[in-house]
Structure 1
């Protein structure tokens, strides 16, 4: 089964188009380095919870929207090799001329790698 990297990000709502442009630029690198699929999702129905929720997890402010993204890899070995290459690739550096600036506060992004254990399809 594929290996999944997941991300939850608080993005200023006014930066939705900048977020999409940023994703289009950087997500193509994931595919180039072996990802099967990259999904970027913009919060539409993200309720406040009683104990915890997506908004609290990333300390989202009133003028921010929660984005949820994931990258599917064929396996963890491909993901690990790709991450190593990405950290060395100047196209990943937002300070490199021509690369879009980060349209969100990366310090509040939560992320992790997940081993897929169940898949149900129609």
Structure 2
């Protein structure tokens, strides 16, 4: 069964291209370790809520944009094994400077419960 690693973060709007470059550079490693797909979504229509919203969740500042992304894996076992391998990969020992505050990034693993297509 497919498995998804989901991410939610706030990126300084001025760092959009740096973020795109970082994501594109990360894809080959994800793919090498078994990822099927990676999607990076730049928030363009993200409403503000009264009780909760993406901005509050990420503590986004006025000059930041919310990013919602996910990596698709064939299954949870592949994702788990891949993350272990990536953390041991020498490439990860010297990660590039992050174009966002990683302390405000959220992530989690998700199994699909509904998956419909047109």
After TM superposition, the structure 1 = structure 2 runs for residues 1-122 of structure 1, keeping only pairs within 5 Å, are: 1-93=1-93, 96=94, 100-122=96-118
TM-score (norm: length of structure 2) = 0.96
TM-score (norm: length of structure 1) = 0.93
Within 1, Cα distance between the matches of 2:49 and 2:27?
30
Within 2, Cα distance between the matches of 1:28 and 1:46?
29
User: CA RMSD of the aligned region, Å?
Assistant: 1.0
Q: How many residues align?
A: 118
Within 2, Cα distance between the matches of 1:106 and 1:18?
14
Report the alpha carbon displacement of residue 11 of structure 1 after superposing the two structures with TM: 0.2
Is the CA contact (8 Å cut-off) linking 1:26 and 1:92 kept in structure 2? no
Within 1, Cα distance between the matches of 2:89 and 2:34?
15
Please list every run of 5 or more consecutive structure 1 residues that lacks an aligned counterpart in the other structure: none
Is the CA contact (8 Å cut-off) linking 1:25 and 1:100 kept in structure 2? no
Please list every run of 5 or more consecutive structure 2 residues that lacks an aligned counterpart in the other structure: none
Deviations 1:19-50 (A, max 9, x none): 00000111221111001100011110011111
